[in-house]
Amino acid sequence: MQKHALIVGLGIAGMSAALGLRRAGWTSVIVERAPERRTGGYFINLTPEGMRAVDDLGLDTLHTRDPERGTTWSLNRRGHRRPALGWLDLPGRPTAMVRGDVEAALWQQVQPHGGDDVEVRFATAPLEIVDGDTATEVLLEDATGRRYRETFDLVVGADGLRSTVRRLAFGPHERFMTTWNAMICAFPLPAQAPSFGEQDSLISARPGRAVWVFGLADRAPTALLTYCTRDIDAEFATGRTERLRAVFGDMDHPAVRHVLDALPTTADCLFDSVHQVKMDRWSTGRIVLAGDAAWCLNLFSGMGTTAALRGGAELGRVLTEHPDDLAAALAAWEARLRPFITTHQRMARLKHQWFVPTNRALAGVRTLVLRLAVNARRSVTETRLLQAAAPGPDGV
C-alpha cells in the first residue's frame, strides 16, 4: 500500500522533502499558509555539498548567478574603497544565486505532471496534530475558514523558524529558539549602487552594524543590512524603513544611501531577528521537522539552503532503505544529518563576526585578517602570472 505524507511549508525544505519522498515511492500533500508561491528573494549560496544535493534531487533547471567580472570592495569610514574578500571567496567556492532560483527549480520537479504524486494546497495551515500508532490525524483550515481532518503516514514540518508543526507537536518556540541579539534585513535592489560595476559586491562594516551588497550575474544585486541590538522587541515597534534609517543613516556613503532609498519600494523583504533552533530530537512518532523548523542554522551560517536540500535528499534515502520501519528511517536520517548541522551551527558564531563585528576590538581584528587575506591572495595571483610568463627550459 502506497504511503502518504503531509508536508507543511512550500519552501526549499518542504519541496526538497516532497522530492525525497517521491523517490522513496510516497505521495505527498504540501500545505502552504501563503495564498501563492513566493518568487524572487535575497542572495543565497550553495556549497559543493549543496550542489551534490541538487544533483541528488534532479534539479537540472537550477539557474546560478556567479558574477564573472565583479570585484568585492570594502568601504571605510571616509568612503574610500579597497579590494576585499567577499562571501564567494570562502573555502569551497560557493555558488551564487537568489532564493527564488532554488525554489523555481524545485517547483518544476514537484509539479511536472500536474501534481500526480504531490498535491499543493495554498492558503491552508494545520490547527491540530494527533499522532497515533498507525497514522497521524491533522486538522486543517483553508482560506474560506473550512476545517477538515485527514490522516497521514508521516507529517513533515518544513514551515520555517517559527514552525506551527513544531509548536503543536513539540512545544512553545521559546524552548528551542536561541536569541543572537541581532537583526537582518535582506532584499533585492532595483539597480547597482552608483559608481560600482554591474556585478561588483561591497561591504561597509562598523562595530555592531554592516551593509552588504551582493553582485550577481543576470540581475541587479541584493542587499543585506544587519546590526546588533539588546532589545529585539523594540526593533519591531516602528516600521522597518524608519528603524533601519535610524541605525544606518549616519553611514554617509552614496552606496549606503542607495540601499536605504530602495527599502520603501521593495515588496520582497526579509526583516527579522536572528536565531538558531536547537533540539534534542527532530522527530516524534510520525512527525518530523526539517529545515529551519528543525535546526535553523541562520543566515550568518550561509548553509541554510544547503542543509534544507540535503535534508530532503537524505529523507528519500532513509525511507528507501527502511521502507517498513519509519522509526528506523527517521533515526538514520537524524544520525546522518546531526554532525553536519552541529558543525555549522557552531561555525555560524564565527561567521557572524565576518558579517558584522559585534564590537570595536573584533572590528579591528576582522579588518586586519581580511587585509592579510587579500594581500596573500594577491601574492599568489602575481606568482602564478610570473610562472606563466617565465621562459621554459629551452628559453621559449
DSSP track, 265-280:
G-SS-EEEEEEEE--S
Does residue 5 contact residue 136 with C-beta atoms inside 8 Å? no
Write down the pLDDT at residue 38: 87
Give the other-Cβ count within 10 Å of 89's Cβ: 15
Residue with cell 527564488: 100
Does residue 337 contact residue 329 with C-beta atoms inside 8 Å? no
46-98 confidence digits (pLDDT tens): 999 999 999 999 999 999 999 988 999 999 888 789 988 888 887 778 999 99
| Per-residue burial over 354-373, b = 16 or more CB atoms within 10 Å of its CB, e = otherwise | bbbbbeeeebeebeeebeee
What span, in angstroms and rounded, lies between the C-alpha atoms of 53 and 59?
9
Does residue 14 contact residue 307 with C-beta atoms inside 8 Å? no
What span, in angstroms and rounded, lies between the C-alpha atoms of 358 and 98?
27
What span, in angstroms and rounded, lies between the C-alpha atoms of 377 and 250?
33
Interval 223-241 mean pLDDT: 95
What span, in angstroms and rounded, lies between the C-alpha atoms of 272 and 181?
11
Closest CA to 351 of 212, 194, 244, 155: 212
Write down the pLDDT at residue 380: 42
What span, in angstroms and rounded, lies between the C-alpha atoms of 225 and 332?
38
Q: Which residues contact 180 (CB under 8 A, 6 or more apart)?
A: 273, 274, 275, 276, 298, 300, 352
127-164 confidence digits (pLDDT tens): 999 999 999 999 999 999 999 999 999 999 999 999 99
What span, in angstroms and rounded, lies between the C-alpha atoms of 70 and 343?
31
Write down the pLDDT at residue 381: 39
Write down the pLDDT at residue 384: 44
Closest CA to 11 of 303, 222, 308, 267: 308
Write down the pLDDT at residue 238: 92
Does residue 297 contact residue 182 with C-beta atoms inside 8 Å? no
What's the CA dihedral at 97, 103, 105, 111 to 10 degrees? -170
What span, in angstroms and rounded, lies between the C-alpha atoms of 54 and 61?
10
**pLDDT over 60 (residue 201):** yes
**pLDDT over 90 (residue 375):** no
Does residue 235 contact residue 256 with C-beta atoms inside 8 Å? no
**pLDDT over 70 (residue 100):** yes
**pLDDT over 80 (residue 169):** yes
**pLDDT over 50 (residue 286):** yes
Does residue 58 contact residue 19 with C-beta atoms inside 8 Å? yes
246-266 confidence digits (pLDDT tens): 999 999 899 999 999 999 999
Q: Which amino acid is at 142?
A: D
Q: Which domains does the chain have, with CATH numbers?
A: 4-65+97-177+277-354 (3.50.50.60)
Query: Which percentage of the chain shows pLDDT scores above 90?
Result: 80
Interval 196-219 mean pLDDT: 95
List strand residue ranges (DSSP E) for the chain, in order.
4-8, 27-32, 43-46, 72-75, 81-83, 95-98, 118-122, 125-131, 136-141, 147-152, 154-157, 177-188, 201-206, 209-214, 222-228, 270-277, 283-284, 287-289
Model confidence, pTM? 0.91
What span, in angstroms and rounded, lies between the C-alpha atoms of 53 and 65?
18
Q: Give me 317's grid cell.
A: 534515502
Distances in Å between the Cα of 292 and the Cα atoms of 55, 309, 327 are 22, 12, 22
